[in-house]
Structure 1
Amino acid sequence: MQIRELPYADPGVPDVRSGTRFLLWLGRNQLGGQVKALLWGLMLQLGIAGLPLGVGFAVQAVVDGDGGRLALAGGLIGLLGLAIAVGDVMMHRVAVTNWITAAARVQQLLSRKTAELGSVLTRRVAAGEIVSVSTGDVEKIGWFVEAQSRFAAAALTLVAVCVGLVVYQPALGVVVAAGVPVLALAVLPLLPRATKRADEQREKAGKATELASDTVAGLRVLRGIGGEELFLGRYRAASQEVRRAAVRSARMWALIAAVQVLLPGLLLLAVVVHGARLALDGRIGVGELVTVYGVVALSYHQLRHFEEIAQAYSFSKPSARRAARVLALTRTTTAVEERTDDAGRAAGGDLYDPATGVLAPAGLLTAVVCGDPDAAGRLADRLGGHPAEPDDTHTSVLLGGVPLDELPLDAARTAVLVQDKDPVLLSGTLRQLLDVPSSGTVAPRAALDAAQCGDVLDALAQASVDTDGDPMRTRITERGRSLSGGQRQRLALARSLVTDPEVLVLDEPTSAVDSHTESRIAAGVARLRAGRTTVVLASSPLLLDVADRVVLVHEGQAVAVGTHRELLGTEPRYRAVVTRETDEEIAARAAAEGPAEPAAPGELDELELAEVEGESA
């Protein structure tokens, strides 16, 4: 795989059973690049290890006064130098390619998972952790993947050096062969503590990143309530915790590095003392002593790869574990036969959630009232085929009798579109914002009119630069930060209406607008979505009154169905949610009214209805 061939046509199906298995899977998928790096690494490492042999031959030739052997030794040193230069350049090139391609594969896998899960991803994983995985963790994983081949080359070179020295000069070779394994494995007892401290540092850094993300996202609110200093103090405290954890981690790695310097020095001292004695006794020549000394001195070049691979693994394993945890998230636990019509859309019909009993008949506008806003958000995700909890998937939502989790992802998303209560606007022009996959039935202008975006268009026209006042060409800033909350909400609603899905699920689509605008939006949505299945999760009487049917969900179950006016007169729990009555007010009302007969459907007192709608407005 070359960098110019990125991105991958298919990044593959990762092994996400554990972080270690994920790392091994990445290594297997880059076997060709790993082999290339290993071969170039062997050329480099063997060239470095062979230099002392050439130098020893040269020294011994000078001692013996043999000019021919000195020339041969010079030629050998020249060839080894060339091998080192070529091996270093090529190994670095292949290693960087392995790093980048591994990181790119992980990023593609994360992007694919994000597209698959959508907004449900942030419900299952903290936003700060997602940022950490997609940035720093990706680099650490790529580092370990590319370091494997360099470590393998260094380890094989050390084995070859030990065997060669035993054959070349047994008296000194045995000492080196016994000492090198000790040097290579000396850091193992220190690794668990170093890894633990590194994990603590990353955990604290992740929390600090999440805090920073949340602070930036809520900066406008913080400024409004004067809370900047409070959150700044929290972030400062979190940063200091990260700094202290980083210092503690660095101390352990500094100790490991010191051990990697100290022990080779002791081995080198032992070789020099023992070798000098052998040379004085005439058992070895000066050239042989120089050769062994040089090999031991340069062995640090190979030994430092042991420290690097240990550090890379300790840093990448938690990163791989986090990445595997994100990649293991699934939209569904099962995927069986695909059921789509010729147009690729899911078979039409009623939308039914077996878990709550909520039914949205085909072609009608159904409003769902939940007393708990969080429960409403979870229900919206379920209706879109994205259960917020992994164990919710055993009761998949049915569309026309077909479980949504049995449909292909593209078909399910074409059939059902969910708009969150806090939708995101991507940067770009208004025309680009509304240029989304759609049926082509609903024109952008009609969607903007239904969502009551007239004042938004006027504001964009006034803010336009070099667009001749055309609001469709005016650029919207990232996440629509230049717009008010109500303006962002209405543009997001217009985008959803343009898509014209078979089933549209809206979670509190008018929570940020005034009552007059809300009334016109309710009428516009009902008119534009006539004959299409629409589900609105809301508790505003202005929206509920235009719905064809209203479902009350209490404690996770649908307990009442009817029109808005019918439920106001017959269902106290519904009236409590819609009118925001407290338990005391309900009890007082019941005591005052006595055991009266419930009002017949459509016979609610006009004064009471006006009071309800007035309180909501």
Structure 2
Amino acid sequence: MSPSNPSGRDVLRESVGGQRRDVALGSLLGSGHQLGEALVPVLIGVVIDRAVTKSDTGALVLWLGVLAVVYVGLALSWRFGAWSGDRSAARAEHALRIALVRRVLHPGGGAEEGRLPGALANIATEDAKRVGAVNMAVMYGISALVGILTTAVVLLRTSVTLGLVVLLGTPVLLWLGHLLSKPLETRSATEQERAAHASAVAADLVAGLRILKGIGGESTAIARYRTTSRDSLQATLKAARAQAFQSGMVLTLTGCLIAVVALVGGRLAAQGTISLGQLVSAVGLALFLLGPLQVLAWVNAGLAQGRASATRIAEVLATPHTVTAGDRILAQPVRGAVRLTGVSHGGLREVDLDIASGELLGVVATDPAHATDLLRCLARRADPDSGTVELDGVALRDLDPAELRTAMLVAEHDADLFEGTVRDNVTAVAPGSADPEPAMAAAGVAQVAETLPDGEDTAVGERGRSLSGGQRQRVALARALAADRPVLVVHDPTTAVDAVTEAGIASGIREIRKGRTTVLVTTSPALLSVTDRVVLLDDGRVTDTAPHADLIARHETYRTAVLA
């Protein structure tokens, strides 16, 4: 999307403008189809006047041949015009999806704030589809207008009165259709919001299904989803009623216009102003008008839904970034020295901390929320409210988040796995030439592979649900280790593994990360025992720092946090 802060109109303009060639081609061919359809009753009238009434066999054959050519032309125009329109809609939908995914995955973040993943998925699918369909609506709308204009011109040549009925009646009908589409636009927006919320709740419940079963919360979860789904259903029914009302009213008004055309044409024929063939043509054209006018009613509905969806897409695309890119770059090679000076963020209060290059540091936070706040600052998912975080003397806020993450990896506790094999997950972010085996051995993935049917090539289901909690943790840790970043921050990587495995992983981390900066944010004694020193965060402040054994001996708060 070209504008930095796009509106719904910008989204629609870009969606149609980006596919202008296909839309133009589809409109041209669609117009050819409508022109052919309008010519059919005209040619039938010509056949009646020049061949049937005069019993001229040669003229009959000639004009029937012309009619056959017109039929072939309009059929081919329809086929290739519809193909071009469908292609423009599919490409526009794809482009919107890419733009949304790019925005959601942008290193600056922000798009996911306040939105559940299911809601974002709904916007990237259903809303993108509706906006893409606007290309079809534009194509069909132009074609329908050409058909109406052709009908009006023919009727004007036949009778000024008939032509004026169509020329004056059609704009009034279009204006009324636009007015009738307003409630549909509003209700369509509500429908999509409720549907997105229901989808998000469903995805949330499926993700936590094991936990819900474990705590016996199925009935509460079902009740919650039933309420959300009922709200979505009500919004959908209201939108359907609005669309049905709009379509019904437009169809009624269209029928009135056609009836007026037929009535005026009949009176003119009775007065001898027009011939029998012209009357047949006029009635045929009046009946033909039903098609393009119905198309315009559908176009109005499609545009109303497209505008509502475009607004929702624009809201995501226009969401401000949580962090912005700075203009400084890191010196190469990255040494990995990290410094926090007076950092306050969330629950953190004036945190001062120096992490030497190549140090293996443990961080124990008595409040898990403070650990999360620290990770957000180190990962630069948010900038501190005050103070600075530096890497090799460069403030993180002065760096591009994408460049920062090539030097510093923050591995969250609840990191997800992806569909693919165990090995694919481990090597997902590893350098191309790197050997993943040391990382897999350090994280204990070799033991996991021994229990799986196809070893490292065993397929992993969505979010790793085919693996146990401990197996998922080990694969996620191996992925972080295989990334081989100069600075690695790991949060509680062994909470779901047994003590023996945890001790092996602790030794593996120390061995594989030797000479590179590593921060273990954890309360695990096994992991803390292999660190060079441990920092104690209590009440959001650094209250002590020393080797693990020394803190155990002299600090009651530390013993409670680590050994309780």
Shift of residue 484, structure 1, vs aligned partner: 1.9
1:185-224 equivalences in 2 (<5 Å): 185-224=175-214
Instruction: Establish whether residue 524 from structure 1 lines up as the match of residue 519 from structure 2.
Output: no
Distance 1:208 1:330 in 2: 25
How many residue pairs are counted as aligned between the two chains? 556
The correspondence for 2:233, drawn from 243, 267, 287, is 243
1:518-556 deviations in Å (ceiling 9; x for gaps): 344334323322221112222344434443344444666
Determine which of 410, 413, 423 is the counterpart of 1:418.
410
Match of 1:137 in 2: 127
Q: 1:55-74 to 2 correspondence within 5 Å?
A: 55-62=44-51, 64-65=53-54, 67=56, 70-71=60-61, 73-74=63-64
SS of structure 2 residue aligned to 1:214: helix
Distance 1:62 1:475, change over 3 A: closer
How far residue 88 of structure 1 moved from its aligned partner, in angstroms, is: 0.1
Amino acid at match of 2:22: G
Match of 1:101 in 2: 91
Contact 1:438 1:501 (8 Å CA) reproduced = no
What SS does the aligned partner of 2:520 have? strand
Between 81-90 and 332-341, report the one with greater CA deviation: 332-341
Inter-CA distance 289–506: structure 2 relative to 1 (3 Å threshold): same
Supply the distance in 1 between the matched residues of 2:443 and 2:107 (Cα, whole angstroms): 27
Structure 1: runs of 5 or more not aligned: 1-11, 465-470, 581-611
Q: Which residue of 1 aligns with 2:347?
A: none
Tell me the equivalent position of 1:600. none
Aligned partner (choices 436, 439, 444) of residue 447 of structure 1: 439
1:127 equivalenced with 2:117 (yes/no): yes
Tell me how far apart the structure 1 counterparts of residues 208 and 135 of structure 2 sit (CA, whole Å): 38
| 8 Å CA contact retained: 1:518, 1:543 | yes
**Corresponding position of 2:376:** 381
State which drifts further: 427-436 or 484-493. Answer: 427-436
Matched letter for residue 357 of structure 2: A
Identity %: 32
Alpha-carbon distance between aligned partners in 1 of 2:373 and 2:321, rounded to the nearest angstrom: 14
Paired with 1:64 and 1:453, the residues of 2 have a C-alpha distance of 91
TM-score (norm 1): 0.81
Contact 1:138 1:319 in 2 (8 A): yes
The answer to which of 117-126 and 267-276 deviates more is: 117-126
Q: Which residue of 1 aligns with 2:28?
A: 39
Query: Which residue of 253, 267, 271 corresponds with 1:277?
Result: 267
Alignment of 1:183 onto 2:173:
yes
Contact 2:185 2:308 (C-alpha < 8 Å) held by counterparts: no
Question: d(CA) in 2 for partners of 1:441 and 1:266?
Answer: 74
The 1:91–1:439 alpha-carbon spacing in structure 2 relative to 1, beyond 3 Å, is: closer
Moved more, 471-480 or 257-266: 471-480
Q: Provide the rounded CA distance (Å) in 1 between the counterparts of 2:69 and 2:125.
A: 42
Question: Closer, same or farther in 2 for the Cα pair 1:478/1:270, shift >3 Å?
Answer: closer
Q: Which has the higher contact order (CA 8 A, sep 6+)?
A: 2
Q: CA deviation at 1:364?
A: 1.3
Q: After the TM superposition, which of the residue ranges 284-293 and 34-43 deviates more from structure 2?
A: 284-293
Deviations 1:160-197 (A, max 9, x none): 43344334310221122121112222222322222222
Q: Could you tell me how far 1:558 is from its partner in structure 2?
A: 5.0
Tell me the distance in 1 between the aligned counterparts of 2:319 and 2:340: 24
After superposition, residues 344-363 of structure 1 pair within 5 angstroms as: 348-352=336-340, 355-356=343-344, 357=351, 359=353, 360-363=355-358
CA-CA distance at 1:302 after TM superposition: 1.5
> How many angstroms does 1:274 deviate by?
2.3
For the pair 1:401 / 2:424, whether they are aligned, the reply is no
* Aligned counterparts, 1:592-607, within 5 A: none
Find the counterpart in structure 1 of residue 459 from structure 2. 475
Measure the CA separation in 2 of the matches of 1:280 and 1:542. Answer: 102
Which runs of 5 or more residues in structure 2 are unaligned?
A: 345-350
Question: Residues 338 and 389 of structure 2 are in contact (CA less than 8 Å); yes or no, is this contact kept in structure 1?
Answer: no
Indicate how the Cα distance of structure 1 residues 124 and 385 shifts in structure 2: closer, same or farther if over 3 A, else same: farther
The residue type paired with residue 268 of structure 1 is I
* d(CA) in 2 for partners of 1:75, 1:440: 67
Return the letter of the residue paired with 2:448: V
Partner of 2:425: 433
Q: CA deviation at 1:477?
A: 3.5
Write out aligned runs for 1:456-475 (5 A).
456-460=448-452, 463-464=453-454, 471-475=455-459
Question: Does the 8 Å contact 2:426/2:476 carry over to 1?
Answer: no
Shift of 1:43: 0.7
Q: 1:273 to 1:238 in 2, by over 3 A?
A: same
Q: Secondary structure at the match of 1:116?
A: coil
Quick one: distance in 2 between partners of 1:520 and 1:552? Answer: 24
Partner of 1:17: 6
> What amino acid is the match of 2:356?
P
State which of 265, 269, 282 in structure 2 corresponds to 1:292. Answer: 282
> 1:370 corresponds to which letter in structure 2?
A
How far did 1:289 drift?
Answer: 2.3
Distance change >3 Å, CA 168–CA 568, structure 1 → 2 = farther
Cα distance in 2 for residues equivalent to 1:570 and 1:457:
42
Q: 2:19 matched to 1:30?
A: yes
Amino acid at match of 1:508: D
SS of equivalent residue, structure 1 residue 113: helix
Task: Report the equivalent of 1:50.
Answer: 39
Once the two structures are superposed, what CA deviation does each residue of 1:445-478 show, in whole Å capped at 9, x if it has no partner? 4333432446423322xx34xxxxxx33333343
Q: CA deviation at 1:358?
A: 5.3
Query: What is the letter of the counterpart of residue 422 of structure 1?
Result: D
1:172 matches 2:162: yes
- Give the Cα–Cα distance (whole angstroms) in 2 for the partners of residues 168 and 531 of structure 1: 92
SS in 1 for 2:106: helix
Judging changes above 3 Å, is the alpha-carbon distance between structure 1 residues 57 and 217 closer, same or farther for their aligned structure 2 residues? same
* Alpha-carbon offset, residue 409 of structure 1: 5.6
For the aligned residues, what is the CA RMSD? 3.2
| Kept in 1: contact 2:443–2:508 (CA 8 A) | yes
